[in-house]
Amino acid sequence: MQSIQVLRLAVVLLVCSSFVIRCSEAAYTLSFTHMLSEKAKEDHNAQEKGAWPFPDPDTVEYQHLLRQYDAVRHRRMLAGTPSTYTFVEGNVSISFIGGFYYSTISVGTPAVPFLVALDTGSDLFWLPCECQSCAPATAPIYEDYGVSKALKVYSPKASNTSTAISCGSSDCPAIISQCQAAAGEQCLYEQNYAAVNTSTSGRLVQDVLHLIPDMGAPTATQVPVIVGCGQTQTGILVDGFGPPDGLIGLGLENYSVPTTLARSGLVKDSFSMCFGADFAGRVVFGDIGSTAQQSTPFAPAQPGAYNTYYVGVETIIVGGDTITVGMSAWFDTGTQFSYLESATYKLFVASFDKQIAGYTRTTEPQLFEYCYLTRDDIVNAPTIDYVLSGNATFPIGYPLISLFFQNGTRGGFCLAIIESNINLIGVNFMVGMNLVFNREQRTLGFEETDCLSLMSNSGPAPAPNAGGPSPSPGPKASASSPTTRPPNSSTTTPGPAAAPAPSQASHAAAFSLATLLLLGLVHVLL
């Protein structure tokens, strides 16, 4: 048992508030903060954008909103250079409901800017193009969150560097192509997403993505990438909930942008993410982590198919109980809470419930099944650890979430895990960890980390490109930031500590995607 401070908010929607370079050519860091935090609310009010459009966190409505995002998402599931680089458009900050990273990029010659989503759950880079069915040219939902954005349409004919990809080309991926036998035909594609009736289709072209070094003279670099000329979008891609200005897939397939950039020698094929307890964190592309981290191999979603970030889970330790599970679980940074298949869930919650002493379980219907009454911020609860393949122990720092009464007062806490038919580790189980998705080694590295210290110890942000917006100040520490494994805790698990600088060996550089991290409703996963 240990004293645990209950997580006041679940990590729902995260917005990049600034970007900073660590004092190393090996990594480029982006910091982000919670979209629904007090800081985001203050910024919204300062812009005089009208009433704050979200419920306050100390309300039942807020927690219903979190569960609604997850529910929609999971219904869909069941159906070498020494410089670092960033996009020439610089950093962009908007608040937009969606399970994506957002960035302004420039494509083609002359360069045209696009505000695209960056999706860790898919692979294709596509833009609205030669539109037969695309999202409207304006997106009112952007304006709802303080941004006026005119959307772009990509034109291969208007770009001097655009070339068509033919069916016989190695750049025409069989997994999405609609090619028949004729090698001379253009490589047509159709990408279907798990969201109901959601897809993009068109033709594939090659064009250049514009990058600039983070340090030194701002000399532009153009990197050839595969681009989907998205002529027809359906489902959430056109109904106002998806990314209307295009999407960059960050998945594991060989036609994804990260794979292409790594193959070019600009970056190591790895990135890290760190989620702080104060709803701030950072993303580092090119980071392979530290020698102190633990690691576990990716598990194939299907035999031989490494197309999502699954890992093997051998046992789950709840306090003094060890539950043998032998399952695979998906690390999903686009889902707020965590999920277990029914049989494992029943063993898990039964063990937790029998070890939680001195608290009365409420019989009132709640968002979670196991909720307990207390007015205390600190509760005594069993520790929870997932033992992953290779005997790597992944400690769960924030398994609990506050329970609020209708009048907004704190009434207790809930075990924030949900019975399902999938095994999924969501953001609430990742808080306080630095996660390294090493795609080259097919491993997930992790280390308990003070994400806020990582950001505060980073160097200052560079001046953005003259044509791009200036980054806003980075998040500040909160005196009330919760800690579930305090340094003086009696638990044998070590407390959070600042992570070492990323290793500089065996990779050319890190590459910034200068993005927003938005985790929530719309994450169109394959």
- In angstroms, the CA 403 to CA 65 distance is 14
pLDDT the model gives residue 304 = 61
pLDDT the model gives residue 45 = 63
358 with 212, same domain: the answer is no
Residue 152 lies in a domain: yes
DSSP string, 252-316: SSTTSHHHHHHHHTSS-SEEEEEE-TTSEEEEEET----TT-EEEEEE-SBTTB--S-EEEEEEE
Residue 522 lies in a domain: no
> Do 504 and 26 touch, CB atoms closer than 8 A?
yes
The answer to whether 332 is a known catalytic residue is yes
- In angstroms, the CA 27 to CA 25 distance is 6
| Catalytically annotated residue among 43, 214, 269, 332 | 332
301 with 406, same domain: the answer is yes
> Structural domain of residue 224, as residue ranges?
14-46+82-166+187-284+509-517
Tokens 């308990």 — which residue? 448
Among 434, 456, 478, which residue terminates a domain?
Answer: 456
307 with 451, same domain: the answer is yes
Residue 52 lies in a domain: no
Q: What would the two tokens of residue 500 be?
A: 């070492």
Residue 259 lies in a domain: yes
Residue 216 lies in a domain: yes
Strand 433-438 relative to strand 443-448, pairing: antiparallel
φ/ψ (deg, to 5) at 31: -100, 150
420 with 329, same domain: the answer is yes
Among 416, 441, 456, which residue terminates a domain?
Answer: 456
165 forms beta bridges with none
Among 416, 436, 456, which residue terminates a domain?
Answer: 456
pLDDT the model gives residue 279 = 54
| Catalytically annotated residue among 43, 119, 123, 245 | 119
Number of domains in the chain: 2
Per-residue pLDDT of the chain (526 residues; tens, 9 = 90+): 666 655 543 322 222 322 222 323 333 233 333 444 555 566 556 655 556 555 565 555 555 555 554 544 444 443 333 333 434 443 322 223 344 546 677 899 999 988 777 676 678 999 999 988 887 765 554 554 444 456 789 999 999 999 999 988 888 888 788 786 555 688 999 998 766 788 899 999 999 988 655 344 456 778 899 999 999 998 878 876 667 688 888 778 889 887 887 888 877 888 887 777 755 556 676 788 899 999 999 998 766 666 788 999 999 999 999 999 999 998 877 667 899 999 999 999 999 999 998 899 987 767 789 999 988 778 889 999 999 999 999 999 889 988 776 666 678 889 999 999 889 998 789 888 998 989 999 999 999 988 766 544 443 333 333 333 222 223 232 322 222 232 222 222 222 233 333 333 322 233 333 223 333 322 323 3
272 with 350, same domain: the answer is no
Residue 27 lies in a domain: yes
pLDDT the model gives residue 286 = 76
96 with 131, same domain: the answer is yes
317 with 371, same domain: the answer is yes
Dihedral sign from CA coordinates of 453, 458, 464, 470: positive
pLDDT the model gives residue 429 = 92
DSSP string, 119-181: ETT---EEEEEEEEE---SB-HHHHHTT---B---B-GGG-TT-EEPBTTSTTS-TTTB---S
Kind plus residue range of the DSSP H or E element containing 443: strand 443-448
- In angstroms, the CA 212 to CA 214 distance is 6
254 with 320, same domain: the answer is no
249 with 398, same domain: the answer is no
Length of the chain, in residues: 526
154 forms beta bridges with 129
310 with 270, same domain: the answer is no
The answer to whether 287 is a known catalytic residue is no
Residue 340 lies in a domain: yes
Residue type, 177: S
258 with 348, same domain: the answer is no
10: closest CA among 77, 55, 67?
Answer: 67
What CATH number should be reported for the domain holding residue 28?
2.40.70.10
Using omega within 30 degrees of 0 as the cis cutoff, is the peptide bond preceding 110 cis? yes
Residue 231 lies in a domain: yes
> Do 85 and 512 touch, CB atoms closer than 8 A?
yes
335 with 426, same domain: the answer is yes
